[in-house]
Amino acid sequence: MPTPLRWLDMPPVWLAAMVAGAFALDLIAPGLGFGLGWMQSLGTLLVGLGLALMAFAVWEFLRARTTIIPREVPTAFVRRGIYRWTRNPIYLGDALILAGLVLRWDVLPALVLVPLFIAVITQRFVLGEEAGLKARFGKEFTIWAGDVRRWI
């Protein structure tokens, strides 16, 4: 069973920290964007797309009756639905939400948080999850990983 501190090292917490950083930057130094109205619409679209990706991914986990919690051992190998196009739709959804909020708030320097978020999630979660899937599902995972990109 994970310790309480272990629950702090979870993708939603990392996302919340990055979102808080973007919001704080906007509060500390407002006016760092271009003030273009269409960027707010694009941001809204990205947030919606991110939420949709996450919903499709959760649906597939529920259908497969396997865990969605990082670092837990999966009981099934999910590769249908959204998993035919991306190996990490939930993390991709998180990144799109972060980018969308940055655009909505028009704090463009905070866009550097998006690749930082992707790097942190890849190192702290994705690589370990992939190693676990390879150990558990072997060639089946290797073939799928060769056909489906990690992000997009």
Task: Kindly report, residue by residue over 67-108, the tens digit of the pLDDT.
Answer: 999 989 999 999 999 999 999 999 999 999 999 999 999 999
Place of tokens 């920290």: 17
Q: How many CB atoms lie within 10 A of CB 2?
A: 13
- Going by the DSSP 8-state scheme, the letter that residue 108 receives in this structure is G
Distance of alpha carbon 139 from alpha carbon 145, whole angstroms:
10
Reading the block at residue 26, the tokens are 């906007």
Place of tokens 């990082």: 70
Distance of alpha carbon 138 from alpha carbon 32, whole angstroms:
48
Would you list the domain boundaries of the chain? 4-147
pLDDT reported for residue 37: 84
What pLDDT band is residue 2 in, cutting at 50, 70 and 90?
A: low
